[in-house]
Amino acid sequence: MDPHRAFRACLVTSLALTAAVSLAACASSTSKASTTASTPVQTAPVGPPATTAPNTQCGAMDAILVEALDQTPEGQAYTGLPEGSSSEDTQSAWNAFTQVLETNYHARLQTAAGGDATATSAVTALTTYTATTSRFADGQIPEFKDEAQAEKDIKEGRTPEPNPEYQKSMEARTNAHVELSTCMPHWPVTF
């Protein structure tokens, strides 16, 4: 898949998922108390995605990202998702790809970042993003302090007590996502 098609696919997916997130926000919160592990949906700043990297180092990192999307089975699985794929399938494919990106391309990304603060911060953000996403996907960080009580609270119309670790981890992942999408224009803006 050529980079322009991959970017278009990412953009279309991002827009579709933005709409899905908006609809989900209006839906009942009862699914949040479910005991099944899930990766929370996140959003980044609103607006059109950047089309160029902010500097040469980020541009080199973006080229590595595009290469990995094109050449790895996980990248191809993500970019090859059919239009209209569920947000769960899209997020799962993206998570698998980012794990490969972190594991197999980290050293190249560090080299490309050189001494540039923005690019170096994005490399660190990739590690934060993948580690936190993995913990969310594995169900290691529950959304609520007491999941059983949260389910009761939701059924009774009360707001359940959030888990501070979940909130802190979500903020760290969101900040990492913003740094990555700022440095690398082909990093999806939202899920």
For 105-116, the pLDDT digits (tens) are 999 999 999 999
Enter the pTM of the model.
0.70
pLDDT tens by residue, 153-184: 999 999 999 999 999 999 999 999 999 999 99
CA dihedral 171, 175, 176, 179 (to 10 degrees): 180
Torsion angle in degrees (nearest 10) through CA of 38, 99, 12, 90 = -40
Q: What is the pLDDT confidence band of residue 4, given thresholds at 50, 70 and 90?
A: very low
Contact 170, 40 (CB under 8 A): yes
Q: How far apart are CA 118 and CA 55, in angstroms?
A: 9
Can you give the residue ranges of every domain in the chain?
3-183
